[in-house]
Amino acid sequence: MKIPSPTHISRILKYYDFFKEPGSRYSREDDPVMIDSYIYSFELFQLVNKLYMENFIQEYKQSYRLPENLEEADICSLVRVLSAVVMADRYSKGILSQFIAQGNLRKIFNRLSEIKLEMENRMYGSLLGLAVGDALGVSVEFKSPGSFPPVEDYQGGGTHNLDAGEWSDDTSLALALAESLSKSKGFDPQDQMERYLAWYREGYLAVNGSCFDIGKTTQQALENYEVTGDPYCGLDHERSAGNGSLMRLAPIPIYYFSNLEGVIRYARLSSCTTHQHPLVLQCCQYLSLLIQGALWGKSKTELLSADYAPYKTYLHHDDLLEELEEVVQGSYKRKNPPEIRASGHVIKSLEAALWAFYHSNNFKEGALMAVNLGEDADTVGAIYGQLAGAYYGETGIPQPWLDKLARKDLIHSICQDLIYPE
């Protein structure tokens, strides 16, 4: 199923307002007297056409029963209901009109209005969660676990002498990727590299106007790009399996929300600009599926199952490198520190972030678990934050952390353009 995005929902809700305009035979849609079951009116024809265009009607081979409570149905159930009713109306005219006359269409569109807000909440949560995790961890970056007082809130200082609530390269590069996707109307590796380079050389989208921290693999890729102009110049040698592309990943599943194949394809390509080690590419694809599933509202149990359906469909166990296969099978469920480490290696970072997500019950608890591992705390915090933020939503992130987050309005604005790129 291709799940409709907030953009699709917004467009169909806007049309629904026209559908119910005064004077339309559907202005009192749940009054059977107002609707002739055997007249396929112009308004109804236009509505069905719009539903097709916005992915609300899709082909199904099986019949689908109406949920007991449409007001609480999820987006997949609503798509199945609309698809089943329209398909049935092809063979038995009047079913769709009767469905409307019973008040079901009104219930579906009321629920869609709620679902749109839920989706937005999770999307904003993912990008803001990334920044919050980064800002929480940056003050203890490079510090050994246990060598510092436990982090409980934003702290100033650290290696880069930042103010409390300020963030590092993880967030800057995620924002650059997000802006590229929205302003380019899709995936443009050249544009991405130009934005990354502008951050490196000019402080574009840096929290304080300068690039004060950059990973070695990312730095080498950007300097190679300056010379060659090739946007896919990421390194792939043994020591390049770092976390620098995993930390900025959230914009991909947000932008390609409705497109599983797109998420898999562009998660990989978004890494190739700076990191091309096979293990890094697979980790980006795996995390992108988890974030997308969280944005869709999947449960934590389902997401972290080794048999999670999108993972089984698009990433096959036989094709996975051994280190990632261990994580997929739940290594983080059985381990604890010091086996769990927040090192800069992509597997260690992913494992640590999933450990914090699995063993916590809310965004705050998991974020503090992640950053108090020390070492590459800001990046593990950012990796955790983009997944947990998608799962718990913006409203699940402690409000004091959001209030004190540096340049929160900028992050929110860039995310809004990513959600609604038109």
How far is the C-alpha of 372 from the C-alpha of 363, rounded, in Å?
Answer: 14
Cα Rg for the chain, rounded, in angstroms? Answer: 23
Domains of the chain with CATH codes = 6-102 (no CATH), 118-419 (1.10.4080.10)
Per-residue pLDDT averaged across 363-383, rounded? 98
Tokens matching residue 356: 């914090």
Per-residue pLDDT band for 91 (boundaries 50, 70, 90) equals confident
Q: What is the mean pLDDT of residues 397-406?
A: 98
Closest CA to 344 of 245, 266, 201: 245
The string of pLDDT tens digits covering residues 182-227 is 999 999 999 999 999 999 999 999 999 999 999 999 999 999 999 9
- Sorting pLDDT into bands at 50, 70 and 90, what band is 96? confident
Beta bridge partners, 167, equal: none
- Using N-to-C axis directions, what is the helix angle for 377-392 and 346-358, rounded to 10°? 40
Contact 199, 175 (CB under 8 A): no
Place of tokens 């300020």: 166
pLDDT of residue 190: 98
What DSSP letter does each residue of 337-403 carry, written as one string? TTTS---SBHHHHHHHHHHHHHT-SSHHHHHHHHHTT-SSHHHHHHHHHHHHHHHH-GGGS-HHHHH
Mapped onto helix, strand or coil, the DSSP state of residue 121 is helix
The answer to whether residue 314 scores a pLDDT higher than 50 is yes
Q: Tell me what pLDDT residue 300 has.
A: 97
Residue 68 has pLDDT above 50, yes or no: yes
Residue 383: the pLDDT is 98
Tell me which residue of 101, 276, 129 sits closest to 189, measured CA to CA.
276
What's the pLDDT score for residue 33? 42
State whether residue 184 is helix, strand or coil: coil
The string of pLDDT tens digits covering residues 123-150 is 999 999 999 999 999 999 999 999 999 9
Looking at residue 317, its pLDDT comes to: 63
Q: Is the peptide bond before 338 cis (omega within 30 degrees of 0)?
A: yes
Residue 379 binned pLDDT confidence (cut-offs 50, 70, 90): very high
pLDDT digits (tens, 9 = 90+) for 257-287: 999 999 999 999 999 999 999 999 999 999 9
pLDDT at 19: 61
What is the percent of the chain where pLDDT is above 90?
77
DSSP class of residue 409 equals: H
Over residues 11-43, the pLDDT tens digits come to 999 887 766 655 555 555 554 444 455 455 677
Q: How far apart are CA 278 and CA 270, in angstroms?
A: 13
- Give the per-residue pLDDT at 260: 93
Average pLDDT, the chain: 91
- Closest-CA residue to 216 (of 193, 194, 227, 200): 200
Residue 318 has pLDDT above 90, yes or no: no
